[in-house]
Structure 1
Amino acid sequence: MLILWSHFRMCFVVRQEYYFHLRSSPSTDIVAVSIIICSVCYVLQGCYLLQQLESLLEEYLSGFEWAVKDNANVPKAVSGLLSHVLGSAIYSEAMRILPRDSVKLHEDGWIYIYKLRDGSITRPYCGGLDARPIIESGLKTVTVISKPPKHLDSAVDQLVNATYMFSHERTGAVGLYGIDVVLSPYISRDRLDYRSVKQNIQRFVYNLNYPLKSGQSPFTNIVFAFSNKFYRTMPVASGDKRFRFVIDMYENYIEETRKILKAFAEVFSEGDAVGQPFTFPIPTSIVNSDFERYLREDEELWNLYWQMVAKTGQMYFLNGYRHKAEDLFSFCCRLLSDMSRVRDVLHQAKGVWDMPPSVGSINVVVINLPRLAMIARTGDDKAMWDKLDELLEISRKTLMWFRTMYMKLFAEGLYPMTREYIDSVNPFKFYYNTIGLIGLAEYASIMLGEPYLWLKASPSIIPQIVKHYNDVLNYVNSRLKEFEEYDDVLYNVEEVPGETLGVKLAWKDVAFAKELTRSEDLSIYIPVGEVEGKKVPFYTNQLSPPYTALHLRHQLEIESQCQKLFTGGVIKHVFIDRELSADTIARFVMRTLKNSDVVYISVTPTIAVCPSCGYRIVGRATRCPNCGTSIDLWSRIVGYYRPVKSWNSGRVAEFNLRKDMSKDIEDIAI
């Protein structure tokens, strides 16, 4: 669309030149020719532009899947229509200006470049905000400047608004670190009762779920820092002059922090006015000995916390037993940042109290692993590794292109929030160039020549699966270290969520597999689910896929051996279709994280909600027993809760194949 607009502008210039000739030479012939040429140009360009617009409008209004359900977080509305039209224009422009070899590989399905329709040619992918600088200096925008907040309600409002403002400068997630700790002093200073605290937390959660970012709510993540000793022992951030010379530490407000966590647990458990679970913010707890002691000292909080997880699944768990809490931040649904690497760089110039105010990802280029495995199945392992090397090099070039573009736009002043709260010189110093991997489970089945690998439930083959995973992950990590040394920027590798790309690449690989000259039809390795009578392929986004017949204990064995190799992010979602007791969930999570190297995990109950009367239950109910209304099923499409009816067909196909792990959880929790 941008190209069409540039052509349209060119016609305008041509018309102006002809009018100049008209004024300087009053020849009747020139007048006639000028009018005819300009009129034809305007009509042709205008008609083509109109046809494109009509086509996009028709796609959206007719419910074309990739127009309406490309992102489950975007509701069908006029704002979604506008996003579809503009996104198509931006995508066309991206295909024009990105490196040609990158575009070709993206279109052919070898790689997938993130967020092109969301404007990734102009904005980085995701990043985190430390809540402390916002509280300390107040919210400063290009239109309004606020003083540092003096009270809890104004602090909450400033954090919400900062999140929205920052999300406009990112295409993906925005993380907010330490909100529980940073807000705690206000409760003491304002002498607030629990009701007031809960009211403020409720406002925080509701406000982050309104679709105010281009028709969608911003993808937000919060990390509770109460179990991070490094963060707890920091001096209290306050711009309030009354406390300017008061030496105070956050660890003095443990009881107030508990009130905040209790309020979050209750708000998440209640859901909205009709019982729907909140999509955002996605909360993360760092689970370690401090976490356990902190919760167990307050029995009511312990029970509320685990009841929330059992009923709503509203928590991610970061393993702080095997990894230092102060060295691991989580800023997106999966993006983990090992702060020990970043802090080594930071401490060259700054002191022990400082941490990078924002860590994130420049962008993500995803490598299609199942297709590489198909190359190996043709009998040429070397060709597969050579192709992987080629894809890594082109991904590197693409990511450096993005980084250069963002720095140019930053120099032009297009990221005011980034300049104010990150860095006024080089804000992307601690942003990673991220290589993503999709379809690892399918990659393993192809490499092993076992199309039904994950359905056989044979633990004996786990060592071979782990070997294939580790081989490719170790190789990618070794190449990324070389890239870091040469480019002088950070690189990491992520197990990507793949909400849309995992489906689009699977469709492309169905065709690709049939083109390979081989007696074996490799398309049988691509998982397929049924949606409304149609077979739909998809790629999974976990090391152990949700449709596997392996016992959860064996799935966690795989995750434990391989998750730690994902330097950029990874997750194991455990799906359940019936409500388990809070005690069972607590024992399962604590035992898993204490006794394994699993880095990141969630328990995800399927939630049935009646949109009419608010009836809610964990399970796959279809009709409300109270009023007879058709029930909405909610689950995590990839990393966040949305109603299944808003998902694309590939993710619905995957949902229909998910195994209920509730019995396995009970086995492990005994």
Structure 2
Amino acid sequence: KGQVVGTYADFEEETRLIQRAFTETLLEGDNEGKPHLFPNTIYTLRKETMTSEYEEDIRLVHELSAKYGSSYFVNMFPKYRGKMANYMGCRTCLQDTWTGDWDQDCLRTGNLAYVTLNLPRIGYQSRDESQVFEYLDAYMDLAVETLMLRREQGLKCLNDFHILPFLKQQVAEDSYYRIQNSTLSFGFVGLNEMLSSLFGEGIENADANKFGVKCIEYINDRANQLKDETGLRWSVIQTPAESTAYRFATLDKKQFGDQAIVQGEGNANYYTNSSHVPVDTGLSLIEKIKIEEQYHSITPGGHIFHAFMGESYSDPDSLMSLTNKIARKSDIGFWAYSSALSFCLKCKTLMKGLNNVCPTCGEKEDVEWYDRITGYVQQVGRAKSASGGWNPGKRQELIDRRRFEDN
């Protein structure tokens, strides 16, 4: 049995040294010069660390963001925050707002399961706004039933099937994995298209957006009600929808025909992710923030804001200034500066932007693309020798993304 030799605060200098070394290693890229796709690096911003004392460390992180766009930022400034918020790169989140004890809420537990609600389909089926909530109730009833089955199966895997015995290790009087503290979440996709079907305009319209916020608040209220009824940890998440946004749009286009409002063209259709603004928006970055920040406090199970950066190399100091503004002046809880990259597999040249031809050796077929699919930075699968890649809907979304310059 180990002995307590101090608290986390006693090892701040060692932690900073590790963080700095880790970030410097990521800046170097892999042995071919490509970005390291894993592990995801998530940097938490607090008032205690957004000071001149930590400026050198923070700037190094923004060099990494400027080069590869792989860093994530957690914002602990908003009023809806507690003292701790742990994120995965895909956006799933654990906050210390369950019991108020960060150990119980954030450690040795996780996001057990979520079910995604197809919001555009609700829009197609509803005669008016009031019927939207009737459908939401019906969809959430199905989701609750499904999630309880998922939890029951999880308990069997943990307790009866002994699939992952290390999770059952005893720590004090409890098992290592505390399934009683894990989340069951309502996810959703396509709020923008649902609003378009109801109002003729999507989330960028102020009146439509007010109704959108009302709908997600309604789902969040149901999650809070279930907490009281069941004693379990219910939540709401912006589903990453790496395949679901494409699958739902494809199925709805087949079932509803021209009534279905989808992004993309031909067979490469997709729905806008969760409560995001469409990727081809004509809005400024600040206007985009003002819309999407309204949803972060009511999606405590996870959310993300994407700043899709331009093809020119970003300036770390400009990104630092933008980070400071987002952290201190918005309710954005989690975000990333996403950069499109190309890499020639033949001569190992790394390029900014989506390039079809390598400017160094002229290679056309084996130039791979990289960008953030919805959470993680991944290879797109453009290169001839690629072993996998994005589905047609996500590829079309990548092409459609409007990029923002940082200067």
Asked if these proteins are the same fold (TM beyond 0.5), I'd say: yes
2:191 to 424, 440, 445: 440
The yes-or-no answer on 1:274 pairing with 2:41 is no
Residue 478 of structure 1: SS of its match in structure 2? helix
1:414 to 149, 155, 163: 163
Q: 1:608 to 1:401 in 2, by over 3 A?
A: same
| Aligned-partner Cα distance in 2 for 1:508–1:354 | 40
Q: 1:508 to 1:256 in 2, by over 3 A?
A: same
| Aligned-partner Cα distance in 2 for 1:535–1:398 | 30
CA contact (8 A) 1:578 1:605 kept: no
| Aligned-partner Cα distance in 2 for 1:354–1:480 | 19
CA contact (8 A) 1:331 1:360 kept: no
Partner in structure 1 of residue 136 of structure 2: 388
CA contact (8 A) 2:94 2:106 kept: no
Partner in structure 2 of residue 365 of structure 1: 115
Q: Identity, % of aligned pairs? A: 25
The yes-or-no answer on 1:342 pairing with 2:99 is yes
CA contact (8 A) 1:419 1:427 kept: no
Q: 1:337 to 1:408 in 2, by over 3 A?
A: same
1:192-591 pair list within 5 angstroms: 239=2, 244=3, 247-293=5-51, 296-297=52-53, 300-323=56-79, 324=81, 326-331=83-88, 333-343=90-100, 357-376=107-126, 379-412=127-160, 413-420=162-169, 423-424=174-175, 427-450=178-201, 453=202, 461=205, 463-514=206-257, 521-523=258-260, 525-529=261-265, 534-541=266-273, 542-576=275-309, 577-591=311-325
| Offset at residue 608 of structure 1 (A) | 1.6
1:24-103 pair list within 5 angstroms: none
CA contact (8 A) 1:607 1:633 kept: yes
Deviation by residue 1:246-283 (Cα, 9 ceiling, x = unmatched): x4333333332222122222222222111221221112
CA contact (8 A) 2:85 2:106 kept: no
CA contact (8 A) 2:109 2:177 kept: no
| Offset at residue 354 of structure 1 (A) | 6.6
| Offset at residue 342 of structure 1 (A) | 3.2
Residue 342 of structure 1: SS of its match in structure 2? coil
CA contact (8 A) 1:362 1:403 kept: yes
Deviation by residue 1:223-259 (Cα, 9 ceiling, x = unmatched): xxxxxxxxxxxxxxxx4xxxx47x4333333332222
| Aligned-partner Cα distance in 1 for 2:292–2:176 | 40
Deviation by residue 1:594-645 (Cα, 9 ceiling, x = unmatched): 1111111110011121222222132222222222223211101111111222
Q: 1:375 to 1:421 in 2, by over 3 A?
A: farther
CA RMSD of aligned residues (A): 2.3
Q: 1:414 to 1:611 in 2, by over 3 A?
A: same
| Aligned-partner Cα distance in 1 for 2:104–2:231 | 22
2:390 to 647, 652, 656: 647
The yes-or-no answer on 1:617 pairing with 2:344 is no
TM-score, normalisation: structure 1:
0.55
Q: 1:290 to 1:437 in 2, by over 3 A?
A: same
Deviation by residue 1:381-438 (Cα, 9 ceiling, x = unmatched): 3433222111101110111111112212322223212112774298311111111101
TM-score, normalisation: structure 2:
0.89
Partner in structure 2 of residue 144 of structure 1: none
Deviation by residue 1:31-83 (Cα, 9 ceiling, x = unmatched): xxxxxxxxxxxxxxxxxxxxxxxxxxxxxxxxxxxxxxxxxxxxxxxxxxxxx
CA contact (8 A) 2:95 2:106 kept: no
CA contact (8 A) 2:85 2:94 kept: yes
Q: 1:367 to 1:257 in 2, by over 3 A?
A: same
Letter in 1 for 2:107: P
Partner in structure 1 of residue 384 of structure 2: none
| Offset at residue 286 of structure 1 (A) | 1.2
CA contact (8 A) 1:469 1:562 kept: no
CA contact (8 A) 2:237 2:301 kept: yes
| Aligned-partner Cα distance in 1 for 2:301–2:24 | 31
| Offset at residue 555 of structure 1 (A) | 0.6
Q: 1:594 to 1:356 in 2, by over 3 A?
A: closer
CA contact (8 A) 1:637 1:651 kept: yes
Q: 1:302 to 1:408 in 2, by over 3 A?
A: closer
Larger radius of gyration: 1
Residue 97 of structure 2: SS of its match in structure 1? helix
CA contact (8 A) 1:364 1:433 kept: yes
Partner in structure 2 of residue 37 of structure 1: none
| Aligned-partner Cα distance in 1 for 2:373–2:41 | 16
Residue 326 of structure 1: SS of its match in structure 2? coil
| Offset at residue 355 of structure 1 (A) | 6.0
CA contact (8 A) 1:495 1:566 kept: yes
Letter in 1 for 2:184: N
The yes-or-no answer on 1:598 pairing with 2:332 is yes
Letter in 2 for 1:573: H
Q: 1:429 to 1:655 in 2, by over 3 A?
A: same
| Aligned-partner Cα distance in 1 for 2:187–2:12 | 38
Letter in 2 for 1:334: R
Q: 1:528 to 1:355 in 2, by over 3 A?
A: closer
Partner in structure 2 of residue 49 of structure 1: none
Q: 1:635 to 1:486 in 2, by over 3 A?
A: same
CA contact (8 A) 2:369 2:379 kept: yes
Letter in 2 for 1:636: R
Letter in 2 for 1:438: V
Q: 1:382 to 1:619 in 2, by over 3 A?
A: same
Tell me, which stretches of 5 or more residues in structure 2 are unaligned? Answer: 382-388
Deviation by residue 1:298-327 (Cα, 9 ceiling, x = unmatched): 665343221111111121111111154633
| Aligned-partner Cα distance in 2 for 1:397–1:569 | 21
Deviation by residue 1:541-576 (Cα, 9 ceiling, x = unmatched): 142121111111111000122221112111011112
Letter in 2 for 1:366: T
Deviation by residue 1:324-369 (Cα, 9 ceiling, x = unmatched): 463322245211222122336x9xxxxxx77653232221111000
Q: Higher RCO, 1 or 2 (CA under 8 Å, sep at least 6)?
A: 2
CA contact (8 A) 1:466 1:562 kept: no
| Offset at residue 467 of structure 1 (A) | 0.8
| Aligned-partner Cα distance in 2 for 1:584–1:414 | 48
Residue 341 of structure 1: SS of its match in structure 2? coil
Residue 378 of structure 2: SS of its match in structure 1? strand
Q: 1:299 to 1:601 in 2, by over 3 A?
A: closer
Partner in structure 1 of residue 385 of structure 2: none
Letter in 2 for 1:483: L
